[in-house]
């Protein structure tokens, strides 16, 4: 089934699946998985069915996020069955989905990177269409849009709609579905950012820090109800989204200049405190009135001291930001027994 290795993986293959007009590329598909043992084999079968006629080399990177069930055993078995183009990255513990996705991005070798969930709700058959639009329209990100979402109305759909509108207004990248994991990226763009915390929901917003929002679009994709396993999301994630959104807003606006944010707040508070204290000084020495028992005196001192603290915090934040830009050596995850793939470990199109 797999053809002999080519001198260059990007030599022109025969036209297939209507993708002959797509520029040459290599595709890396990343699927983070946590306690999805029953979904592993069906997922890999769907991936290979959906890409059976794919005209360019591709690889599949399965990231086990410290699963406590038989997920990693199933991943290893399926990797041996399907071949070396299926690679397994095992994290030493559960680092959460964002870190698992970053581990997959770091391991990817393709020019184009596609991410999707491992719960069988995303349809791998949509991947060629997303990649074709990304390349043919010269985009940096094509995000999936689950127009006919197969989830609960009150616990999933309504909170998601509210969150999507809020995120769009704050970050300036208006998408109908930030929560869909099925996305296609240019590797050079997605690898220029680092994902932290639970920021996988805001990848298009992070991308807007390094590319124009005009190169970020969305494409309707299929969505299926979950069959096996349990959802890792609940109503509590709505509150985490709000907190993460505050962080995203700060980083997008002030990451390179945090002193402007903290310093601006500090200057306002210090100016307010100075005005209050100057007025009280006039009352004391100009009008001869007693100010020792006035609450305004405490407010003035509090504003002035808080302003000085915010300004000092801004200076420290600027120092830390510069250290962060110059080092960037912190790791978000640890891989168990990492292996180095060879350049022939790609699924090649049939001759």
Q: Which of 134-138, 161-165, 178-182, 191-195 has the lowest mean pLDDT?
A: 161-165
Angle, helices 237-254/158-171, rounded to nearest 10 degrees = 10
The per-residue pLDDT of the chain, averaged, comes to 83
**Nearest residue to 42 (alpha-carbon basis) of 180, 206, 224, 248:** 224
Summarised one tens digit per residue, pLDDT across range 14-65 is 444 445 588 999 999 999 999 999 999 999 999 999 999 999 999 999 999 9
Mean pLDDT of 157-162: 69
C-alpha–C-alpha distance, residues 21 and 129, integer Å: 12
Least confident interval from 193-207, 225-239, 268-282? 225-239
* 225 vs 192, higher pLDDT: 192
What would the 3-class secondary structure string for the chain be?
Answer: CCCCCCCCCCCCCCCCCCCCCCCCCCEEEEEEECCCHHHHHHHHHHHHHHCCCCCCCEEEEEEECCCCCCHHHHHHHHHHHHCCCEEEEEECCCCHHHHHHHHHHHHCCCCEEEECCCCCCECHHHHHHHHHHHHHCCCCEEEEECCCCCCCHHHHHHHHHHHHHHHHHHHCCCCCCCCCCCEEEEHHHHCCCCCCCCHHHHHHHHHCCCCCHHHEEEEECCECCCCCCCCCCCCCHHHHHHHHHHHHHHHHHHCCCHHHHHHHHHHHHHHHHHHHHHHHHHHHHHCCCCCCCCHHHHHHHHHHHHHHHHHHHHHHHHHHHHHHHHCCCCCCCCECCCCCCCCCCCECCCC
Say how far apart CA 314 and CA 186 lie, in whole Å: 35
Comparing 322 with 269, the larger pLDDT belongs to 269
Place 13 in a pLDDT band, splitting at 50, 70 and 90: very low
Residue 314 has pLDDT above 80, yes or no: yes
Q: Going edge to edge, which strands form the sheet with 58-64?
A: 86-90, 58-64, 27-33, 112-115, 183-186, 141-145, 216-220
CB 151 within 8 A of CB 177: no
In this structure, of 17-21, 70-74, 242-246, 262-266, the range with the lowest mean pLDDT score is 17-21
pLDDT in tens, 112-157: 999 999 888 899 999 999 999 999 999 999 999 988 776 656 656 6
CB 113 within 8 A of CB 141: no
The structure tokens 């970020």 sit at: 216
Q: Give me the pLDDT at residue 101, please.
A: 94
pLDDT for res 2: 44
Question: Which of 125-129, 161-165, 205-209, 254-258 reaches the highest mean pLDDT?
Answer: 125-129
Using alpha carbons only, how large is the chain's radius of gyration in Å? 26
């Amino acid at each position: 089934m797999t053809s002999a290795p080519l001198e260059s993986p990007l030599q022109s293959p025969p036209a297939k699946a209507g993708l002959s007009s797509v520029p040459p590329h290599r595709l890396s598909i990343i699927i983070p998985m946590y306690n999805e043992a029953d979904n592993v084999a069906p997922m890999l079968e769907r991936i290979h069915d959906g890409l059976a006629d794919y005209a360019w080399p591709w690889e599949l990177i399965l990231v086990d996020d410290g699963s406590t069930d038989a997920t990693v055993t199933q991943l290893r078995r399926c990797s041996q069955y399907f071949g070396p183009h299926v690679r397994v990255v095992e994290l030493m513990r559960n680092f959460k989905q964002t870190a698992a996705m970053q581990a997959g991005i770091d391991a990817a070798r393709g020019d184009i990177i596609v991410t999707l969930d491992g719960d069988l709700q995303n349809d791998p058959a949509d991947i060629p269409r997303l990649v074709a639009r990304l390349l043919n329209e010269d985009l940096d990100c094509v995000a999936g849009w689950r127009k006919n979402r197969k989830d609960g109305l009150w616990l999933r759909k309504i909170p998601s709609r509210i969150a999507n509108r809020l995120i769009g207004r704050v970050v300036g990248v208006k998408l109908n579905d930030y929560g869909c994991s099925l996305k296609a990226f240019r590797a050079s763009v997605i690898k220029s950012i680092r994902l932290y915390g639970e920021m996988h929901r805001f990848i298009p917003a992070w991308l807007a820090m390094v590319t124009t929002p005009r190169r970020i679009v969305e494409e309707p994709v299929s969505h299926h109800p979950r069959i096996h396993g349990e959802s890792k999301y609940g109503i509590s994630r709505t509150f985490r989204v709000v907190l993460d959104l505050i962080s995203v807003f700060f980083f997008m606006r002030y990451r390179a200049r945090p002193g402007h944010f903290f310093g601006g707040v500090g200057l306002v508070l210090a100016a307010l405190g100075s005005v209050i204290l100057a007025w009280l000084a006039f009352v004391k020495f100009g009008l001869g009135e007693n100010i020792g028992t006035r609450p305004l005196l405490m407010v003035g001192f509090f504003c002035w001291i808080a302003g000085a603290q915010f300004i000092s915090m801004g200076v420290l934040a600027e120092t830390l930001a510069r250290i962060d830009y110059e080092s960037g050596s912190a790791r978000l995850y640890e891989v168990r027994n990492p292996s180095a793939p060879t350049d022939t470990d790609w699924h090649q199109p049939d001759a």
